[in-house]
Amino acid sequence: MKALRYFGPRDVRYETMDDPDLQDDRDVLVRVTGCAICGSDLHIYHGEGFSEDLGFCVGHEAVGEVVEIGRGVRRLKSGDRVMISAAVGCGACPSCLRGDIVRCETGSGSCYGLSSRLQGSQAEAVRVPAGDFNAALIPEGVTEDQALLMTDGMATAWYGARNADISSGKTVAVVGLGPIGLMAVEQAFVLGAARVFAVDPVPERRAIAEGLGAVALHPDEAPQQLAEATKGRMADSIVEAVGHQKTIDLALRLAGRRATVSVIGVNQDRRFDFPMARAFAMGLTFRIGTCSVQETWPELIPLLQSGRLKPQHVISHRLPLSDGARAYEMFDARQDGALKMVLTP
């Protein structure tokens, strides 16, 4: 099959590799009909990656059609249209059965496309371990684009918004307006936010946030402008969707008393100079981590079916998988308004 393979910093190639095959009775093979580049894929692209392997297939966001199932698969069959969770669990332990793969009790938790251990999904086909759990039918009333976004980005935004304790009447700030941050802006309103302040240095991204109803701010001016707009109270809930030291620090500076800061941007740094004294005095809650995608689906699916959430607005480009290397270059350089890059095998 053809796939996007990683060979070093900024070296992603469209090449042939072995077709996936069933390795366990619970495996499912899926013909990929759509995949996408996630912001966290850029860590691998930049050479910050999570493995010393070379030549593995990248990517962890995909939808497709089931083409083969193992003997132990009960819920899926050939021909089913499915969405594939970006990260996998064993699907059998009590934690996984609750949808919480972060606490997978067998140590089977993994993510596609980080190494050859679990090949990625930016390919013509992908093997899904524990397929009954790690893949799900695309529900009626949910488009393929929406399902693709639900495989990671939309779920991560929801996790971040929930972790920020957003509720009715609160003032919210979202730092970083990539696809996940923009989806968090939309979700904040659905969760009842009275005002949402959207922070990013890119004017085009701020304009999109304004179209969603947010007040857009440049990072350099955000603390002062937010203080003026809230008469010094600042934000009650902050979602940080970048993961850099400076943006996490900015998120903390936007927080008011007893606020909650939720960090969902991927951060590879081993240490962070946390303002402990200020956090103590302000009574801040600080949360950081990655979501269990499957855990978010029961809440997100009805919101999509009812039209309350319309995340597909973040899709900016559609290219064939064969142009994947160019798609990575564009996404990395933010060329031509690049936000969400969808690839079609």
- DSSP per position, 189-232: HHTT-SEEEEE-S-HHHHHHHHHTTPEEE-TTTHHHHHHHHTTT
Q: How far is CA 300 from CA 61, 147, 244, 337, in A?
A: 17, 10, 27, 27
**Residue 229 CB burial class (10 angstroms; 0-12, 13-18, ≥19):** middle
Break the chain down into helix, strand, coil percent, rounded to 5.
30, 25, 40
pTM of the model: 0.96
Residue carrying the six token digits 């079916």:
305
Q: Which CATH superfamily is domain 156-288 in?
A: NAD(P)-binding Rossmann-like Domain (3.40.50.720)
Query: Digits of tens for pLDDT over the chain (345 positions)?
Result: 999 999 999 999 999 999 999 999 999 999 999 999 999 999 999 998 677 789 999 999 999 999 999 999 999 999 999 999 999 999 999 999 999 999 999 988 899 999 999 999 999 999 999 999 999 999 999 999 999 999 999 999 999 999 999 999 999 999 999 999 999 999 999 999 999 999 999 999 999 999 999 999 999 999 999 999 999 999 999 999 999 999 999 999 999 999 999 999 987 676 788 899 999 999 999 999 999 999 999 999 999 999 999 999 999 999 999 999 999 999 999 999 999 999 999
DSSP state letter for 254: T
The terminus-to-terminus CA distance of the chain in angstroms comes to 10
Is residue 284 within 8 Å of residue 259, measured between CB atoms? Answer: yes
SS3 21: coil
Q: Are 345 and 35 in contact (CB under 8 A)?
A: yes
CATH top-level class of 2-138+310-344:
alpha beta
Q: Domain boundaries in the chain?
A: 2-138+310-344, 156-288
